[in-house]
């Protein structure tokens, strides 16, 4: 035996845990936390340990699959690619570029090869039908930043290590490990905050695992956070909060004027909090030396998600906590992404064909996906290339979406499993094991609780094209309608790297502005792969060597530091963040004011409302095939996919623990087992997402743990109107006991 211990970052969630992995040849022997990792300091959850099973899972795809006569058969890469090239080329030629759509899923945020490759693919495709899991997730928060700071990547995060009061709405980091906030060991950080006298206040329709550790919890009626935040802003101002004067800001007066029509009693009625509680909370925020407000999935996956996200930051501004130590800060990451010139916000530059949904962050909202496939006419989507996504389970109106995807002329999936979506594909290209790719948090690194630079090289050499190569190959196919030879692909990569270097040289804010592109390219150290782009971005970044201009970071230096490099706590940097030409924070854009009006005009949602939740043992719709994450449940007949309901609501509906219930909504029906818990607000029920009852997928273990697909209940036109993001929380439902 020749066991070797090596370090690697877990690619599953935003905790970004550093792992110590013991290997013997191609075999993983053991996975443990890496206590020396400068960012995660020894954090680990069961999913990280289960990576070993993911690597060895016999159900994980390792060969391209081609559908013939309704069955998937293994084929060579060349055969699969030739087929893709022929089909996509034909559809584009006959129906135009927009007839081919692309969808990119959540794991891309944790996979730099896939993310950069997808960028190249979308660039070559030239279709305006680009979709992502973002519009069933974080886009409202990013759009709020676009309107407020002129940069959708400027997302402030709580400076938890120096904070005295954290107000958290619609997030459960004890389970999720943070979201648009890389915060491993959240529990420990919370405990330290509490030990130095700090307080956590949670607002959630459930008393979640995080809320249970909070100093104060408030149940809220789903979808009403904007009312609460508006009232808090009014109360804070009445107390004297005028932090906006400390910042270069604009349009505050008109925002405050619009919000002033929402009084605390109205907000109390809508939200279910008492007026005195709202006032007390405002006093706490006003009195706290260093406070931060943070909202996540519960506040973005709801109607008014963008307004809510905006108001969260308004509180951070008026309390003087934005960009201040212990408040909501803008972390920095080592990788610099070039930014095109810009002076104004960018949104709604084009619209979807059928319902006129506005473009957001260069994408179409997934709310539009099904109808764009189903509605005939010029521009109809006829083919889809889906990278690391499972829209049949993660997107709204699942039953009808599945029907629409089945009707496509051509579906390609790049994925590691046969699942509810990929089973419909004409071709599936396998991704690699997480141990066969490199890792760098190119996207989420800008939202870390601390500034660090960490890189993992592949643990094992892939036995197939890595995801950067496959995506780049698809990009070549999209651009040239033919499958590249090895030389052609290498040239294509060279061109892509040169174009990227040119974008850095053209970016006036970048340290490489004006540099000679050929010189930059010749100095990039890695010879091939996505590592070239990583070296480029890291050397252009805050700590980079700026290509020979100073002694600084390179990919090589990151690779030589397997526990990561620490650059300290976030520092105030607002001036660098704001991208408007006047350098000012926009507190009251007219689009935001319109939303305030729309909020007030909206009647309250009556009846029972459904919200989501997450479990430590699952990650969206995947990982459920791994035995380590299903321990015990199978034998005990347990399920994570219960309908949680308050006992008094259960009584009203004639339901008892373990009863089966049909949950119905405007779009469909699912069945789930009832779990009674006083941790639910009255009038609210909860189902996790990511489950399905599909018995035709080739995942043995997942098939044995069926669960209700919550998104059968979600309507694709129930959205946050500003961003087009689907409101997957706050869905009106009815319950019927199943005898
Ligand atoms: N009701 C409800 N619905 C929700 C949510 C909710 O809270 N409630 N949350 C939403 C959120 S926040 C998100 S992010 C979306 C997620 O939406 P999606 O991204 O569409 O769905 P995932 O379930 O994350 O599916 C990821 C897919 O990627 C594959 N995969 C995993 N790793 C890799 C890899 O390395 N390479 C490749 N090629 N494939 C890989 C998996 O097999 C799986 O098919 O779901 C959303 N849907
Ligand atoms: N174990 C595990 N970890 C994960 C994931 C996973 O599936 N499993 N998914 C990852 C992904 S893709 C993401 S985006 C993150 C998400 O991370 P989080 O944002 O922390 O997501 P959740 O754990 O779903 O917590 C959302 C909370 O919002 C509450 N909520 C619902 N509606 C409302 C509302 O109207 N108002 C308020 N105030 N609260 C509401 C819900 O009850 C729930 O407690 O987690 C990531 N981490
Ligand atoms: S918390 Fe778990 S899944 Fe998330 S990065 Fe850490 S080990 Fe991986
Ligand atoms: Mo997400």
Residue 141 contacts residue 155 (beta carbons within 8 Å): yes
Whether residue 614 has its Cβ less than 6 Å from ligand 3: no
Burial of 94 (C-beta count, 10 Å sphere; 0-12/13-18/19+): exposed
Whether residue 13 has its Cβ less than 6 Å from ligand 3: yes
Whether residue 299 has its Cβ less than 6 Å from ligand 2: yes
Whether residue 15 has its Cβ less than 6 Å from ligand 3: yes
CA angle in degrees (0–180, nearest 5) for 545-546-552: 10
CA neighbor of 217 nearest in space, from 674, 678, 687: 678
Spatial distance between the Cα atoms of 619 and 13, rounded to a whole number of angstroms: 8
Residue 371 contacts residue 355 (beta carbons within 8 Å): yes
Residue 503 DSSP SS3:
helix
Whether residue 177 has its Cβ less than 6 Å from ligand 3: yes
Ligand 1 centroid to Cα of residue 444, in Å, is 16
Burial of 607 (C-beta count, 10 Å sphere; 0-12/13-18/19+): exposed
668, two tokens: 């469909």
CA neighbor of 342 nearest in space, from 623, 150, 583, 108: 150
Looking at the CA of residue 169, tell me the nearest atom of ligand 2. Answer: 38
Residue with the smallest CA separation from ligand 3 atom 2 is 45
Which residues on neighbouring strands pair with residue 20, listed in sequence order? Answer: 7, 32
Ligand 4 centroid to Cα of residue 703, in Å, is 23
What does pLDDT average to in each consecutive run of 10 residues of the chain (739 residues)?
93 98 97 98 98 97 97 98 98 97 98 98 97 98 97 97 98 98 98 98 98 98 98 98 98 98 97 98 98 98 98 98 98 93 84 97 97 97 98 98 98 98 98 97 96 97 96 98 98 98 96 98 96 98 98 98 98 95 96 98 96 96 93 78 98 97 98 98 98 94 91 98 98 96
How many CA atoms lie less than 13 Å away from 720 in the CB half-sphere? Answer: 40
User: Who lines ligand 1 at CB under 6 A?
Assistant: 105-107, 111, 114, 133, 136-137, 297, 301, 388-391, 394, 414-417, 419, 431, 467, 612, 620-622, 689-690, 710-711, 714, 728
Which residues on neighbouring strands pair with residue 131, listed in sequence order? Answer: 103
Whether residue 386 has its Cβ less than 6 Å from ligand 3: no
Ligand 4 centroid to Cα of residue 702, in Å, is 20
Residues whose beta carbons lie less than 5 angstroms from ion ligand 4: 137
CA neighbor of 186 nearest in space, from 158, 217, 205, 207: 158
Which residue of 12, 445, 626 sits with most ligand 3 atoms within 8 Å of its CB, as the best mutation to test the pocket?
12
Q: How far apart are the first and last CA of the chain?
A: 58
CA neighbor of 224 nearest in space, from 293, 157, 295: 295
Ligand 2 centroid to Cα of residue 298, in Å, is 6
Looking at the CA of residue 177, tell me the nearest atom of ligand 3. Answer: 1
Whether residue 237 has its Cβ less than 6 Å from ligand 2: no
Give the CATH number of domain 3-56.
Answer: 3.30.200.210
Give the CATH number of domain 606-738.
Answer: 2.40.40.20
Residue 431 backbone phi and psi in degrees, to 5: -80, 180
Which residue of 116, 388, 423, 692 sits with most ligand 1 atoms within 8 Å of its CB, as the best mutation to test the pocket?
388
Q: Which residue has the tokens 């996975």?
A: 31
pLDDT at 207: 98
pLDDT at 637: 75
Residue 367 contacts residue 717 (beta carbons within 8 Å): yes
If residue 198 lies in a helix (H) or strand (E), which one and from where to where?
A: none
Which residues on neighbouring strands pair with residue 737, listed in sequence order? Answer: 661
Residue 412 contacts residue 100 (beta carbons within 8 Å): no
Domain ranges, ordered by start, for the chain: 3-56, 65-128+356-439+452-566, 139-333+573-599, 606-738
Residue with the smallest CA separation from ligand 2 atom 1 is 616
65-128+356-439+452-566: CATH topology is Rossmann fold (3.40.50)
Return all residues near 243 (Cβ < 8 A) that are at least 6 apart.
317, 318, 319, 320, 321, 322
pTM of the model: 0.98
pLDDT at 38: 98
Q: Label the pairing between strands 3-9 and 734-738.
A: unpaired
If residue 303 lies in a helix (H) or strand (E), which one and from where to where?
A: none
Residue with the smallest CA separation from ligand 3 atom 7 is 48
Q: What is the DSSP string of 327-395?
A: SEE----SPPPP----SS----SSB-TTT-PBPBTTB--GGGHHHHHHS-STT---EEEEES--HHHHS
Spatial distance between the Cα atoms of 565 and 558, rounded to a whole number of angstroms: 7
Spatial distance between the Cα atoms of 350 and 380, rounded to a whole number of angstroms: 16
Whether residue 384 has its Cβ less than 6 Å from ligand 3: no
pLDDT at 739: 87
Ligand 3 centroid to Cα of residue 10, in Å, is 6
If residue 521 lies in a helix (H) or strand (E), which one and from where to where?
A: helix 517-523
194, two tokens: 């509490």
pLDDT at 634: 67
pLDDT at 82: 98
CA neighbor of 586 nearest in space, from 403, 374, 402, 313: 313
Ligand 4 centroid to Cα of residue 133, in Å, is 7
Whether residue 301 has its Cβ less than 6 Å from ligand 3: no
Ligand 1 centroid to Cα of residue 452, in Å, is 26
Spatial distance between the Cα atoms of 102 and 132, rounded to a whole number of angstroms: 8
Which ligand neighbours the alpha carbon of 394 most closely? 1
Which residue of 48, 53, 181, 188 sits with most ligand 3 atoms within 8 Å of its CB, as the best mutation to test the pocket?
48
Which residue of 296, 435, 622 sits with most ligand 1 atoms within 8 Å of its CB, as the best mutation to test the pocket?
622
Burial of 356 (C-beta count, 10 Å sphere; 0-12/13-18/19+): exposed
Residue 350 contacts residue 359 (beta carbons within 8 Å): yes
Which residue of 48, 169, 172 sits with most ligand 2 atoms within 8 Å of its CB, as the best mutation to test the pocket?
172
60, two tokens: 């994980």
518, two tokens: 């050929």
Whether residue 458 has its Cβ less than 6 Å from ligand 3: no
Which ligand neighbours the alpha carbon of 619 most closely? 2
Residue 316 DSSP SS3:
helix
Give the CATH number of domain 139-333+573-599.
Answer: 3.40.228.10
Which residue of 7, 9, 13 sits with most ligand 3 atoms within 8 Å of its CB, as the best mutation to test the pocket?
13
């Amino acid at each position: 035996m020749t066991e070797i211990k090596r370090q690697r970052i877990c690619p599953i969630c935003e905790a970004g845990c550093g792992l110590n992995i013991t290997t013997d040849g191609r075999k993983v022997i053991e996975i443990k936390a890496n206590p020396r990792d400068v960012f995660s300091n020894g954090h680990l959850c069961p999913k990280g340990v289960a990576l070993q099973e993911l690597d060895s899972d016999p159900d994980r795809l390792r060969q391209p699959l081609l559908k013939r006569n309704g069955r998937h058969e293994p084929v060579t890469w060349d055969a699969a690619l030739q087929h893709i090239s022929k089909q996509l080329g034909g559809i584009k030629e006959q129906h135009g570029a927009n007839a081919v759509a692309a969808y990119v899923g959540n794991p891309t945020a944790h996979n730099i090869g896939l993310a950069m490759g997808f960028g190249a693919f979308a660039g070559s495709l030239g279709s305006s039908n680009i979709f992502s899991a973002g519009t069933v997730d974080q886009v409202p928060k990013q759009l709020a930043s676009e309107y407020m700071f002129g940069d959708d990547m400027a997302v402030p995060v709580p400076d938890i290590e120096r904070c005295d009061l954290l107000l958290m709405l619609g997030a459960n980091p004890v389970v999720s490990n943070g979201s648009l906030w890389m915060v491993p060991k959240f529990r420990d950080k919370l405990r330290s905050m509490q030990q130095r006298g700090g307080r956590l206040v949670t607002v959630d329709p459930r008393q979640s695992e995080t809320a249970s550790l909070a100093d104060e919890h408030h149940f809220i009626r789903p979808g009403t956070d904007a009312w609460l935040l508006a009232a808090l802003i009014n109360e804070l101002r009445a107390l004297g909060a005028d932090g906006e004067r400390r910042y270069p800001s604009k349009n505050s007066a008109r925002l405050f004027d619009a919000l002033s029509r929402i009084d605390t009693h109205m907000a109390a009625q809508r939200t279910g909090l008492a007026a005195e509680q709202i006032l007390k909370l405002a006093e706490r925020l006003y009195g706290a030396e260093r406070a931060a407000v943070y909202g996540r999935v519960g506040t973005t996956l709801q109607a008014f998600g963008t307004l809510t996200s905006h108001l969260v930051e308004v509180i951070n501004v008026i309390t003087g906590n934005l960009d201040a130590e212990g408040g909501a800060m803008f972390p920095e990451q080592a990788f610099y992404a070039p930014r095109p010139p810009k002076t104004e916000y960018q949104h709604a530059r084009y619209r979807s064909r059928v319902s006129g949904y506005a473009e957001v962050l260069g994408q179409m909202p997934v709310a539009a996906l099904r109808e764009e496939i189903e509605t005939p006419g010029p521009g109809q989507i006829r083919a889809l290339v889906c990278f690391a996504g499972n829209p049949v389970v993660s997107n709204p109106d699942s039953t009808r979406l599945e029907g629409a995807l089945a009707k496509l002329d051509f579906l390609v999936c790049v994925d590691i499993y046969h699942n509810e979506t990929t089973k419909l594909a004409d071709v599936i290209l396998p991704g690699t094991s997480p141990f066969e790719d490199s890792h760098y948090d190119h996207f989420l690194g800008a939202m870390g609780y601390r500034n660090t630079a960490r890189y993992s090289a592949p643990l094992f050499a892939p036995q197939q094209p890595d995801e950067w190569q496959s995506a780049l190959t698809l990009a070549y196919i999209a651009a040239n309608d033919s499958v590249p030879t090895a030389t052609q692909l290498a040239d294509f990569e060279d061109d892509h790297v040169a174009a990227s270097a040119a974008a850095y040289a053209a970016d006036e804010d970048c340290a490489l502005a004006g540099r000679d592109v050929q010189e930059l390219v010749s100095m990039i150290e890695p010879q091939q792969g996505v590592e070239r782009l990583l070296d480029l971005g890291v050397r252009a970044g805050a700590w980079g060597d700026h290509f020979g201009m100073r002694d600084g970071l390179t990919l090589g230096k990151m690779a030589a530091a397997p526990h990561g490099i620490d650059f300290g706590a976030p520092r105030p940097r607002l001036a660098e963040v704001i991208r408007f030409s006047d350098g000012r924070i926009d507190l009251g854009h007219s689009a935001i004011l319109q939303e305030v009006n729309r909020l007030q005009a909206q009647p309250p949602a009556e009846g029972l409302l459904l919200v989501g939740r997450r479990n430590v043992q699952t990650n969206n719709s995947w990982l459920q095939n791994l035995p380590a994450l299903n321990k015990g449940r199978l034998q005990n007949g347990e399920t994570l996919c219960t309908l949680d309901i308050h006992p008094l609501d259960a009584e009203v509906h004639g339901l008892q623990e373990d009863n089966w219930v049909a949950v119905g909504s405007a779009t469909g029906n699912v069945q789930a087992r009832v779990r009674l818990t006083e941790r639910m607000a009255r009038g609210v029920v909860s189902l996790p997402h990511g489950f399905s009852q599909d018995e035709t997928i080739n995942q043995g273990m997942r098939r044995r743990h069926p669960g209700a697909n919550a998104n059968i209940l979600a309507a694709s036109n129930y959205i946050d109107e500003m961003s087009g993001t689907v409101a997957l929380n706050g869905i009106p439902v009815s319950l019927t006991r199943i005898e």
